[in-house]
Amino acid sequence: MSQVFHEIEKKIITSLRDTSKQTPASLEKSTQLSPDQIRRGIEWLRLKELAIVNESKSSVISLGKNGIESFEKGLPERRLLNLLKNGPKKLSDLQKELGFVFGPSMGLARKNNWVEASNDQINLKNSPSELPGEKTLKLIGNGKLSKDKVDVDDLSTLLKRPDFIIEDVLKTQEITLSDSAKSIILSDSTGGIDVEAKVPEIFVARTHPLKDTIDEIREIFVTLGFSEILGNMTQSSFWNFDSLFTPQDHPARELQDTFYLDKINAKKIGTPEQIRKVSESHKKNWRYQWDINEARKMVLRTHTTCVTIKHLAEQKPDEARIFSLGRVFRNEKVSYKHLVEFNQIEGVVVGKDANLRNLMGIQREFYKRIGITKIKFWPTFFPYTEPSLQTMVYNEKLGKWIELFGMGIFRPEVTKPLGITKPVLAWGGGIERIAMLKYDLDDVREFYNNNLGWLRSTTKCQ
Amino acid sequence: MPVVELSYSRLQKLVGKVSKKQISDSLPFLGLDIESEDKDLVRIEYSPNRPDYSTDFGIALGLQGLLGIKTGSVKLKIKKSNNYKISVKPDVSKIRPFVTGIIAKNGKIDDKTIKQLMTMQEDLHFGIGRKRKKSSIGIHDLDKISFPLIYTTTNRNHKFIPLNSETEVPISEILINTDVGKDYGPLLGQSSKVPLILDDDGNTVSFPPIINAAVTIVTTKTKNLFVEVTGINKDDAEDMLSVVATMLQSAGFSLESVNITGSKNSSPKFDSRKLSVNSSLINQTLGLDLKTPKIISCLKKSRLDASSKGNNVVCSVPAYRFDIFGSMDLVEEVALGYGIQNLEPTLTPSQTVGEINPISLKLKSLDKTMIGLGYLEALNSSLTSKRVLYDMTNRDSTKVISVLDSKSQEHTILRDSILPGLLENLSRNIHESYPQKMFETGTIFNIDNPISEKINFSGISAHKDANFTEIKSILQSALNIGFDVQIETKTSTNPTFEKGHCATVLLNNIPIGVIGKIDSKIIENYKIRVPVVGFEISLSDSVLKSLEK
């Protein structure tokens, strides 16, 4: 326990030792400190857990404009009854004397059977000794009163009337010393500042945690000698599917898996030669009638591979190391492990000597750099690569192997029609999956919730 | 990917002398993912290009190869027979022109085998059959059918007793009242005629691709099978039949041919294809130096036959392996036979210098500047909802870009602005302490031949003293420090912003965005209790202009 106390704290502690349970106002009086000093002192002691502050709220009522008038002259209906004390009076006379309160007070008096009217004359039938609201009116008078000091029912009749009652919520604090405060020896205080005290939290401005992972992966690719290319998220089916040898009736192309844009088709999808050769490859190998209209349909890219293949078809490099990174889309039900939109990284190596073992080697190196060393490769199937592999990485937390990246060598059925003559090694996968491992998240949606509580508190991953 | 449920003990019986562990260790190296295991049962995911893996018979063939128990190709032994004929009438040619079939005799059919056959049938229907459109299979009890058969058409009031029924039902009712009728009836189009297989006694055998007749149902008492496949493409129908025939042969049946005649149809051959691959392509692709005999033994482990011919390896590919298109597919088969686990990864030094795309670099530097200014980065989906993008913010929604059939209501349209998403973020964080300052850079979409994609930059600040001056200072500093450009602001109005507190952002006199205090009505819509100021500008039209194509 720190023994450093400010003069203000000392005074407050001393006063509270004399008289327990005080309000800020009584402390002001006993310590001769200003309200601001008292406020700060209490807050310091509270943070050190030396003072216990009990806050309570109470309602205080006072009279409004109409309330004060009624307190002085009597309630309008009381004034009406008073005027009739000495015998019946004409309606018009009463109207003149009471002014605009005549209507409502007359209504009230007749409803309660206090008066009766015959012809033009108003007679008093009985005059109650106390009308609803009179007691409370008297009790409040020109002062202020705690709401719980008055009869709730009687008050309620006044609350219904405009400008009769003003209600204020008053916060009161009651300060007592905690047990640990009682044993403090104030003379031991050194007079320095309390370096052990809790301080207010300052929220850091930062890049989004997912973006940190994205940037990290981008940097790793660059250090492995890869250059970044960018491309559109909206693509024609031609580049997203056809150019990658996915037949037009393939299940992956259905509405239930892929987002098609409503009533939007691409006019120009590729060069006439690209279109002709791709369609020939489909017709020959898949044996069906290839339809250019199907290829024109615009989709939200389902992978970044469309960006890569378009780039390769345009540049036809003999050697290259490129990567593409960005958002991809799948028409899935959103859940803790599925998003409709997520980030994907994809890299390719083009070169006459590029081979499967190189591809595995680059993978191993990549995982090493993001801190994953336990990996293995399994064969798998992708429509546009042959041979195809997937990486399995060991997740210590789950205690099992999980699938991470897919990879393979682009099929000749993909590369040849586009004039790409050298082998292309390709691999890629979802970034969120890696980020989830890094940030120890179980729910992938957290990345896009922008929940400030999480963004402000989660630790940066190295 | 399709999933099949198998039993280890049954697999052990089919494969030969292997332990359960050997099987579970080997499955992934056939390209099969083990999804879950429970004692003897194992659920396996297989690739849609390998429909032969839809049954334990097919997987057993693969395992035998990989484990070296039985290698080389599985040959179909089909006894030529003249007892079984299908003649095809010309009238089917417009609807479902092709039929093919095979006879399988003297097999043992237990419950598990029936279950496996049905799963295979369903998977074939879904995968290569494209939901029965391209081709569909019917499996029948041969002994309930009198040959020859005719494949013909009938009108929709033709009656027969379909599977799972006890009374005769007209076809028109089958199409309306049964699930299969509703699901696959549309494949037949509007034509008044539908395809039908009739036997020699005039009994209905099958109404393809919808349903079989009840009388030919396969049970554990069935000894002999007749399998027919109908479809719109002859090759596809034969491919499908080749898978079924191979599986039935592995299951112990002996096969006999069915003679098909008429209207472009002919009896299927099921011949294996010869495909050759250069051994240097194999070695170059796999990064290995395998001699021809080794290559041949690898291919045999993948259950293909091969022999050497000069520098080439000539492979004989059985009919059911129609996933093999060309030489690269054979390279993969060599890799699988070699064992992926035996391929040692290598790292060749990079000959290239990598670089980050200049646009990514610029955006990263902007991120850093905004963080220096105390702004937290947010990331929102580019697929969003009409509610967030337009309704809440009063914006014009006439040029909305929608996606078809989204499974999520919150993700139906592409954003043309980033700011509404940030406001939505504030709305979800009203219980967190203020000030709340956030920014986002991201792609926005607009209709333009057909779609233009631009990168926008938006920032917001929410706290009790938030005001125009503050947010203008932020944007000015960010662009000045980040990109060395000076902006100006010119009075304007915008439905999202408060009148008199809103300006167009100009760079070199060209409007690039908007800045101001968010309209109090909108703040209320989002249930935010403090003033909010914000901006959104197009980076594509200003600072990234020279970098984008």
How far is residue B245 from each of residues B117, B254, B520, measured CA to CA in Å? 11, 10, 72
**pLDDT at residue A188 above 60?**
yes
Contacts of B336 in chain A (CB under 8 A): 379, 387
- Nearest CA distance, A100 vs chain B (angstrom): 39
Contacts of A267 in chain B (CB under 8 A): 449-450
Measured CA to CA, the distance from residue B123 to residue B128 in angstroms comes to: 8
Among the partner-chain residues B340, B354, B436, the one whose CB lies closest to the CB of A378 is B340
A361–B351: do the CB atoms touch at under 8 Å?
no
A262–B356: do the CB atoms touch at under 8 Å?
no
- Which pLDDT value is given to residue A317? 95
SS3 content of chain B, % helix, strand, coil (to 5): 35, 30, 40
Which of B232, B275, B352 to substitute to test the interface with A, most A CBs within 10 Å? B352
Measured CA to CA, the distance from residue B306 to residue B323 in angstroms comes to: 17
A381–B335: do the CB atoms touch at under 8 Å?
no
Structure tokens at B159: 């009656």
A319–B351: do the CB atoms touch at under 8 Å?
yes
Q: In residues, how long is chain B?
A: 549
Q: What average pLDDT does the segment A92-98 reach?
A: 82
- Nearest CA distance, B224 vs chain A (angstrom): 33
ipTM: 0.90
**pLDDT at residue A462 above 70?**
no
Which residues, at least 6 apart from A358, have a Cβ–Cβ distance to it below 8 Å? Answer: A349, A425, B287, B346, B347, B348
Contacts of B382 in chain A (CB under 8 A): 233, 327, 341
Phi then psi for residue B546, to 5 deg, are: -70, -20
Contacts of B335 in chain A (CB under 8 A): 356, 379, 387
CB A226 within 8 A of CB A362: no
- Which pLDDT value is given to residue A287? 87
Q: What is the pLDDT along chain B (549 residues), one digit of tens a residue?
A: 788 889 999 999 999 889 999 999 999 999 999 988 888 999 999 988 899 999 999 999 999 999 999 999 988 899 998 899 999 999 988 889 999 999 999 988 888 888 888 888 988 998 888 889 999 999 999 999 998 999 999 988 888 999 988 899 988 888 888 888 888 888 888 888 899 998 999 899 999 898 988 889 998 989 999 999 999 988 899 999 999 999 999 989 999 999 998 888 888 888 899 999 999 999 999 999 999 999 999 999 999 999 999 889 999 999 999 999 899 999 999 999 999 999 999 988 777 899 999 999 999 999 999 999 999 999 999 999 999 999 998 888 888 999 999 999 999 999 999 999 999 999 999 999 999 999 999 999 999 989 999 999 999 999 999 999 999 999 999 999 888 899 999 999 999 999 999 999 999 999 999 999 999 999 999 999 999 999 999 999 888 888 776
Measured CA to CA, the distance from residue A412 to residue A410 in angstroms comes to: 6
- Which pLDDT value is given to residue B64? 95
% chain A with pLDDT above 70: 97
Query: B412: closest CA among B382, B444, B391, B442?
Result: B382
Which of A229, A234, A372 to substitute to test the interface with B, most B CBs within 10 Å? A234
Which residues, at least 6 apart from B157, have a Cβ–Cβ distance to it below 8 Å? Answer: B170, B171, B172
CB A381 within 8 A of CB A452: no
A233–B425: do the CB atoms touch at under 8 Å?
no
Longest dimension (CA), chain B: 94
Q: A336 at the B interface (CB within 8 A)?
A: no
Phi then psi for residue B26, to 5 deg, are: -85, -30
B429–A451: do the CB atoms touch at under 8 Å?
yes
**pLDDT at residue A1 above 60?**
no
Parallel/antiparallel/unpaired status of strands B436-447 and B451-462: antiparallel
- Nearest CA distance, B341 vs chain A (angstrom): 7
What's the alpha-carbon Rg for chain B, to the nearest Å? 33
Contacts of A378 in chain B (CB under 8 A): 28-29, 31, 33, 340
CB B333 within 8 A of CB B364: no
Angle B279-286/B292-301 helices, nearest 10 degrees?
Answer: 80
A327–B329: do the CB atoms touch at under 8 Å?
no
Written as one letter, the residue type at B109 is: I
Residue ranges of A 178-197 with Cβ closer than 8 A to chain B: none
Upper half-sphere CA count for residue B151 (Cβ side, 13 Å): 29
Which of A222, A250, A259, A289 to substitute to test the interface with B, most B CBs within 10 Å? A259
* Chain B CA closest to residue A359: B345
Burial zone of B454 (CB within 10 Å; 0-12 exposed, 13-18 middle, 19+ buried): middle
Residue ranges of A 260-279 with Cβ closer than 8 A to chain B: 260-262, 264-267
Cα angle: B116, vertex B119, B121; to 5 degrees? 110
**Where do the structural domains in chain A lie, given as residue ranges?**
76-124, 209-457
For tokens 């800020």, name the residue.
A24
Q: Is B176 helix (H, G, I), strand (E, B) or coil?
A: helix
**A191: pLDDT confidence band, cut at 50, 70 and 90?**
low
Structure tokens at A360: 């595995």
Which residues, at least 6 apart from A157, have a Cβ–Cβ distance to it below 8 Å? Answer: A132, A133
CB B168 within 8 A of CB B158: no
- Which pLDDT value is given to residue A57? 84
Query: B379: closest CA among A189, A175, A375, A339?
Result: A339
Phi then psi for residue B438, to 5 deg, are: -135, 155
Residue ranges of A 385-414 with Cβ closer than 8 A to chain B: 386-389, 403, 409, 411-413
- Nearest CA distance, B100 vs chain A (angstrom): 18
- Nearest CA distance, A357 vs chain B (angstrom): 5
- Which pLDDT value is given to residue B60? 94
Among the partner-chain residues A203, A226, A355, the one whose CB lies closest to the CB of B284 is A355
Residue ranges of A 281-310 with Cβ closer than 8 A to chain B: 285, 287-288, 298, 300
CB A325 within 8 A of CB A304: yes
Phi then psi for residue B481, to 5 deg, are: -70, -45
Q: A83 at the B interface (CB within 8 A)?
A: no
Query: B211: closest CA among B160, B163, B179?
Result: B163
Measured CA to CA, the distance from residue B130 to residue B140 in angstroms comes to: 22
Among the partner-chain residues A228, A232, A455, the one whose CB lies closest to the CB of B360 is A228
CB B203 within 8 A of CB B215: yes
Q: Would you tell me which CATH number, out of the four given (2.170.150.70, 3.40.605.10, 3.40.50.2300, 3.30.930.10), belongs to the domain A209-457? A: 3.30.930.10
Least confident of A171-175, A244-248, A402-406, B472-476: A171-175
Structure tokens at A352: 């006459």
**pLDDT at residue A77 above 90?**
no
Q: Write a three-state SS string for chain A.
A: CCCCCCHHHHHHHHHHHHCCCECHHHHHHHHCCCHHHHHHHHHHHHHCCCEEEEEEEEEEEEECHHHHHHHHHCCHHHHHHHHCCCCCEEHHHHHHHHHHHHHHHHHHHHHCCCEEEECCEEEECCCCCCCCCHHHHHHHCCCCEEHHHCCHHHHHHHHCCCCCEEEEEEEEEEEEECHHHHCCCHHHCCCCCCCCCCCCCCCCCCCCHHHHHHHHHHHHHHHCCCEEECCCCEEEHHHHCHHHCCCCCCHHHCCCCCCEEEEEECCCCCCHHHHHHHHHHHHHHHCCCCCHHHHHEEEECCCCHHHHHHHHHHHCCCCEEEEEEEEEECCCCCCCCCCCEEEEEEEEEECCCCCHHHHHHHHHHHHHHCCCCCEEEEECCECCEEEEEEEEEEECCCCEEEEEEEEEEECHHHHHHHCCCCCEEEEEEEHHHHHHHHHCCCCCCHHHHCCHHHHHHCCCCC
Among the partner-chain residues A211, A364, A450, the one whose CB lies closest to the CB of B345 is A364
- Which pLDDT value is given to residue A19? 86
Q: A332 at the B interface (CB within 8 A)?
A: yes
**pLDDT at residue A156 above 90?**
no
Cα angle: A341, vertex A345, A347; to 5 degrees? 150
**pLDDT at residue A309 above 60?**
yes
Query: B367: closest CA among B432, B267, B442?
Result: B442
% chain A with pLDDT above 90: 46
How far is residue A31 from each of residues A10, A25, A53, B53, measured CA to CA in Å? 10, 10, 18, 88
- Which pLDDT value is given to residue B190? 82
Residue B435 preceded by cis peptide, ω within 30: yes
Bin B111: left if φ > 0, else alpha if -120 < ψ < 50, else beta. alpha
Among the partner-chain residues A207, A357, A448, the one whose CB lies closest to the CB of B345 is A357
Among the partner-chain residues A207, A340, A378, the one whose CB lies closest to the CB of B371 is A207
Q: A439 at the B interface (CB within 8 A)?
A: no
Burial zone of B172 (CB within 10 Å; 0-12 exposed, 13-18 middle, 19+ buried): middle
Which residues, at least 6 apart from A256, have a Cβ–Cβ distance to it below 8 Å? Answer: A331, B405, B407
